[in-house]
Amino acid sequence: MDPLALALVELGAVVFCLGLLARLAGRIGMSPIPLYLVGGLAFGAGGFVKLDGMHEFAHLSGEIGVILLLLMLGLEYTASELVTGLRRSWQAGVMDFILNFIPGAGLAVLLGWGLVGAIVMGGVTYISSSGIAAKVITDLGRIGNRETPVVLSILVFEDLAMAIYLPILTAILAGVGFLGGLQTVGIALAVVTVVLVIALKHGHRVSQAVHSDNSEVFLLNVLGLALLVAGIASALQVSAAVGAFMLGIAISGATAHNATRILEPLRDLFAAIFFVAFGLNTDPTSIPPVLGWALVLAVITAATKMLTGFWAAKRAGIAVPGRFRAGAALIARGEFSIVIAGLAVASGAVPDELAALATAYVLIMAILGPLAARFVEPVVKAIRKTPGAPPRTPEPAPA
């Protein structure tokens, strides 16, 4: 078959199947990310049918998917909200980093993957999925709950931590020396600082630069600027994803709301292709040998995320059920963990087993997170009704 025809047939089939998987995920009340990964595993290296025709398109589309994911995550926050969230959550954020980075890094050292593998796996197990967490909170009607600002503050801290972590990881994966690494980190810190200052003082001008009443012009402006900024950031050895995230922060107000509405279908399409592309590059036969370790990591890091959320909510004066809800909302891992693993595998600096472990781990956590968030409150209430359970602490009234 003609290469172009083959690519179109494979792409059309993949996109159509993604729609079916997303519909299935919606009906059973879970995130579609695990199904996208499974779909990629089924039709990639070692799968049932290997799709070669769409490989180049899938790679580029996956990169665009990451950029759009981070851009729209940045659109959810203003610079002032980020600064306020950082002030409120820095203690819980530091605790979150320590408790959840160490298990992944420790396992990588145990498996003999070295310092680079430890840094990569630490990032995979550290970062919660903002997308899954936000969807779960919305679906369960908990946006107005008192623990929700606590959860969002921790997620904001994690996003800021990623703005520092990803450039460091990029420098390490590129094999630059100590001085080169310091230069990369310095550039990253400078870029983050400059963008935050611009967003705080001149965010309205950035918004005006991309805004248009014509939806076509608006879409082209926002998407084009996002790709341009991401490319420049990548050229400066700062992650393209971080560049897109910082651009999203700089866009605020009604412009950010309209950009989210217009870009959402594109984000969903390209992000889905990104998850499929990651699965396509992972041999499913490599997962069974690491499945046991993935389950161990899942149990440990689910407990550490619960502890993080519980402690942060307790400090905010929230009652016991809200503390458990906060912890459960943080359990899911997803897009960022796959982004980190994808960067590492593409560089060739880590063994292929790391991709398999990351895939299995994200599959487990992306399923476990929404289930834990949905059922943690009934479980807590049932425990508290059992004879001999401590009396219920009334939840303080909102300030």
* CATH assignment at residue 109: 1.20.1530.20
Work out the percent of the chain whose per-residue pLDDT is above 90.
Answer: 20
Q: Is residue 44 part of a domain?
A: yes
Q: Is residue 393 part of a domain?
A: no
Number of folded domains in the chain? Answer: 1
pLDDT one-digit tens code per residue, 21-73:
888 888 887 778 788 878 887 776 666 667 766 667 777 887 888 788 778 87
Q: Is residue 270 part of a domain?
A: yes
Looking at residues 188-202, what average pLDDT do you find?
Answer: 73
pLDDT at 399 over 90: no
Q: Is residue 190 part of a domain?
A: yes
Looking at residues 105-109, what average pLDDT do you find?
Answer: 95
Distance CA 344, CA 302 (A): 24
pLDDT tier at 369 (50, 70, 90 boundaries)?
confident
Q: Which domain holds residue 250?
A: 3-382
pLDDT at 143 over 70: yes
pLDDT tier at 283 (50, 70, 90 boundaries)?
confident
**140: exposed, middle or buried (C-beta count within 10 Å: 0-12, 13-18, 19+)?**
middle
Q: Is residue 394 part of a domain?
A: no
Q: Is residue 388 part of a domain?
A: no
Q: Between the CA of residue 237 and those of 164, 185, 229, what are the distances in Å?
A: 12, 9, 12
pLDDT one-digit tens code per residue, 1-12:
677 788 788 888
Q: Is residue 65 part of a domain?
A: yes
Q: Answer with the residue of higher pLDDT: 269 or 37.
A: 269
Q: Is residue 387 part of a domain?
A: no
